[in-house]
Chains A and B, each alone.
Chain A
């Protein structure tokens, strides 16, 4: 088993640039973690609020490396048969039914039970071969010829039992299948696990991973993200918009707007041909980035103050430029 990825990143900045080229603007912290994870061949456990780009990061990596992204969404009740492999029982049964005649032919001339079974043994593993195996994400990831990016999404939603099962995969990149033996990865996949912290992961799992926490981005980073993701957005609007969102995040909300919501809002404003944030415009589009009724209510109450704050924040750097 060896790493066959075409790209070897020479530096952390180089990695960040490559990520930027596929429209993922990574902070230095993120780039460092990914760089280390790649070079140490360790999975990365990514935590952070929803919508800050945890999943996007894995997608970006897959795109840079030009390998498939295999995604496994975790949920309560997920077990090996859905994560690793399953026998195609239906197919097996169907085939035995269809092949009844053939089986009969094969058995012709065999005298006694022992002889029949002996004949069958000559073809024994036919029905338990890869043709009858339904590969699930983990199995697929281990079988990629050129390696892949394996994204285990929302691992905190899975049961502790499944988490324990993952340990073997994450440390040795291999799994044991009773009928087939141990399957080793052809090329070590690059593994990202994401978690929204609905429950604490076990120490054993954490020990096997590097830890990366992605917070809400700072204003500067968020502006860069918007530049990339929403081309055509004017610089002034970009500034005001980011400052406004940053101000909203300071409020006590049920769900704070994250990067994906900022992008949505920017796209919305672009569609409405907005040049500046105006009171009416913001009021009308609050629901794009605030997802709870109470949040919208409390935000619209403070809207003038927020807008003023945003305009002020957006102006400071411009003054310093001049």
Chain B
């Protein structure tokens, strides 16, 4: 029973659900309380312990149906129809898959006795010859043996579709394929019963098809989680400009996950109430009205200080991919950044904060890229725009985050505006997708801008972005 539950947790992980150990323990206790008999009951009991949000719940429901439907299909004899394994009756979903699998189910006992016609007691794995099981069409016993074989060879560890053949073979062997093959060749040699030989070959093929289908389904259940993890790791370290369009959806998920992690990590430190410390000045001032008797007290608390961020992104062809993910990232941080204004530019500055307010983040990014993107970056003009439009709004609490490669097409640099920014803002952070060794080469003005940045660093993968933003949030809460 425990093994089945663990398999289910594995399958859930395949559906992108994170199941904490705590939840697993709860689930096990819940199952103890409600039992395995009632499928809908089991579903809601496991659901209430395992799925922690409404979206999780939808994922869970789907995974549950997939996982337990397959099991019940394999135990079709428990429904009362001793069908051949290849004919696939739509199994009654209310059947308790687990009971047929691990418990001596009375229904199953009844089936096996007349069904097999041979020696009874196929509960154990080595009880009956595979050929007999196949010929008698005892699907319950077959499925049970397949499950046992699968567990024996560790099918839940399957990762890649290339392992399908291997596992199919392994499972067939564990079910007793060798004996079956020997019997087939023996029967053929004797040529006394060609009927029987043909029949045996037929069921052998069927067995193969059954087992392979089984392995395929299990691959779908268990294989997605590790391969996706691999893919995610790859995407995170990959240069952002190399990420293919088809991976964008996945990237969005990763970004929002990381953003949530960052937000979680930094949300707790924002406000520290110093309990028991009287704010004496404030209390005295307030209680002057009561003749100095302190009826109303005021306690010290720290001021909430969340970063005010102005993000200025180059969205020209060469860096737009980076801008896309930076903007995505910043806007996924949500309330951790109290005041976020975003600007995009190629040759002049455009404020895009409104777009992000009115549209979901992913769509907004696309829209901005379309509206502002282009070629012919002009950093000089942009900086002049910043001076004209933005400089007044920047004070000592603002962090200015600039993303760009500083390739100015040989125009005027206007580094003096950078100096003004540097003097006014709390911090100026320049993220450059190019490696440091390229800075200042060709038409790059980075060497002229870098002195006016508190931080200037190379940033071209999600991992870079994460560490930068982590630093952004941390220094703010530390200095609070």
The stretch that binds B, out of A35-43, A132-140, A276-284, is A35-43
Type the 1/0 row for B38-53, where 1 means its CB is closer than 8 Å to any CB of A. 0011001101110111
Known: A90-B295, A207-B23. A29 touches B52 (CB 8 A): no
Asked if A47 is at the interface (CB within 8 A of a chain B CB), the reply is yes
A90 to B296 Cα, complex, angstroms: 8
Q: Mark B254-268, 1 if CB is under 8 A from A, else 0.
A: 000000100010011
Interface string of A190-224 (1 = CB under 8 A from B): 00000001011011001111111100000000000
CA distance A208 to B33 in the complex (A): 19
Task: Note all chain B residues with C-beta closer than 8 A to A80.
Answer: 275
In the complex, what distance in Å separates the CA atom of A164 from the CA atom of B264?
A: 11
Contact B53 A32 (CB under 8 A): no
Q: List 5 A-B contacts (CB under 8 A).
A: A32-B41, A40-B49, A79-B273, A93-B295, A160-B268
**Closest Cβ neighbor of A97 among chain B residues:** B293
A212 contact from B22, B48, B56, B275, Cβ within 8 A = B48
Contacts of A206 in B (CB 8 A): 52-53
Instruction: Name A's B-contacting residues (CB within 8 A).
Output: 12, 28-29, 32-33, 35-36, 39-40, 42, 44-45, 47, 79-80, 89-90, 93, 97, 159-161, 164, 178, 197, 199-200, 202-203, 206-213
Say how far B271's CB is from chain A's closest CB, in angstroms: 5
Q: Which residues of A contact B390 (CB under 8 A)?
A: none
The residues in B between 269 and 310 inclusive whose CB is less than 8 angstroms from any CB of A are 270-271, 273, 275-276, 293-297
Q: A36-B33, A40-B29, A207-B22 are in contact. Are A202 and B264 (CB under 8 A)?
A: yes
B33 partner residues in chain A, CB cutoff 8 A: 35-36, 39-40
When distances are taken between beta carbons in the complex, the residues of chain A under 8 Å from B188 are: none
Which of A90, A164, A210 is in CB contact (< 8 Å) with B49?
A210
Nearest chain B residue, comparing its CB with the CB of A48: B54
Residues of A contacting B162 with CB < 8 Å? none
How many Å lie between the Cα of A221 and that of B30 in the bound state? Answer: 25
For A42, the chain B residues whose CB sits under 8 A away are 26
Q: Which residues of B have CB within 8 Å of A159?
A: 271
Please give 4 more A-B residue pairs, beta carbons under 8 A apart, in addition to A161-B268, A211-B48: A35-B34, A159-B271, A210-B48, A211-B57
**B294 contacts which chain A residues (CB < 8 A)?**
89, 93
**Closest beta carbon of chain A to B28's beta carbon, Å:** 11
> Among the listed A40, A47, A89, which residue makes an inter-chain contact with B295, where contact means beta carbons less than 8 Å apart?
A89
Instruction: Identify the closest chain B residue to A34 (Cβ).
Output: B48
Instruction: Take A42-B26, A161-B271, A207-B20 as given contacts and tell me if A36 and B49 are in contact as well, using a CB distance cutoff of 8 Å.
Output: yes
Question: How many A-B pairs with Cβ below 8 Å?
Answer: 86
Whole-angstrom distance between the Cβ of A50 and the nearest chain B Cβ: 15
For the complex of A and B, the 10 pairs showing the least CB-CB separation, nearest first, are A206-B52, A33-B48, A32-B44, A160-B267, A29-B44, A210-B48, A211-B52, A36-B30, A213-B54, A207-B22
Given contacts A39-B33, A160-B268, A161-B268, whether A211 and B51 have CB atoms under 8 Å apart is: yes
Main secondary structure of the interface of A (DSSP, over half): helix
Report chain B residues within 8 Å CB of A208.
22
Q: Compute how far the CA of A93 lies from the CA of B264 in the bound complex, rounded to whole angstroms.
A: 42
**A33-B44 contact in complex given A89-B297, A211-B57, A213-B57, C-beta closer than 8 Å:** yes
B277: shortest Cβ distance to chain A, in Å?
A: 12
Residues of A close to B23: CB separation below 8 A:
207
Task: Tell me which residues across on chain A come within 8 A of B34, comparing CB atoms.
Answer: 12, 32, 35-36
In the assembled complex, the CB of B173 is this many whole angstroms from the nearest CB of chain A, namely 42
A40 touches B264 (CB 8 A): no
Chain A residue with Cβ nearest B336: A160
Instruction: Please state if A93 and B293 are interface contacts (CB–CB under 8 Å).
Output: yes
Docked pose: A199 CA to B264 CA in angstroms: 13
Inter-chain CA distance A164–B270, complex, in Å, is 12
Residue of B nearest to A31 (CB): B44
Expressed in whole angstroms, the minimum distance between the Cβ of A82 and any Cβ of chain B is: 13
Query: Looking across the interface, which residue of chain B has its beta carbon closest to that of A36?
Result: B30
Chain B nearest CB, measured from A96 CB (Å): 10
Residues in chain B near residue A32, CB distance under 8 A:
34, 41, 44-45, 48
Q: Which residues 50-69 of B sit at the A interface, judged by CB distance below 8 A? A: 51-54, 56-57
Chain A neighbourhood of B45, CB < 8 A:
32, 36
| Nearest-Cβ distance from residue A76 to partner chain B, whole angstroms | 12
Which of A40, A164, A178 contacts B30 (CB under 8 A)?
A40
Distance in Å from the Cβ of B112 to the closest Cβ of chain A?
32
Residues of A contacting B297 in the complex (Cβ-Cβ under 8 angstroms): 89
A300 CB to closest chain B CB (Å) equals: 29
Tell me which of A89, A160, A211 has the highest count of chain B C-beta atoms within 10 A of its own C-beta. Answer: A211
Q: What are the residues of chain B within 8 A of A45 when measuring CB–CB? A: 52
| Contact partners of B276 in chain A: CB under 8 A | 178
Instruction: Name which residue of chain A comes closest to B301, CB basis.
Output: A79
Taking the closest CB of chain B, its distance from the CB of A107, in whole angstroms, is 20
Query: Which residues of chain B are within 8 angstroms of A160 by Cβ–Cβ distance?
Result: 267-268, 270
Are A207 and B29 in contact, with the CB atoms below 8 A? no
Cβ–Cβ < 8 Å partners of B49 in chain A: 36, 40, 210-211
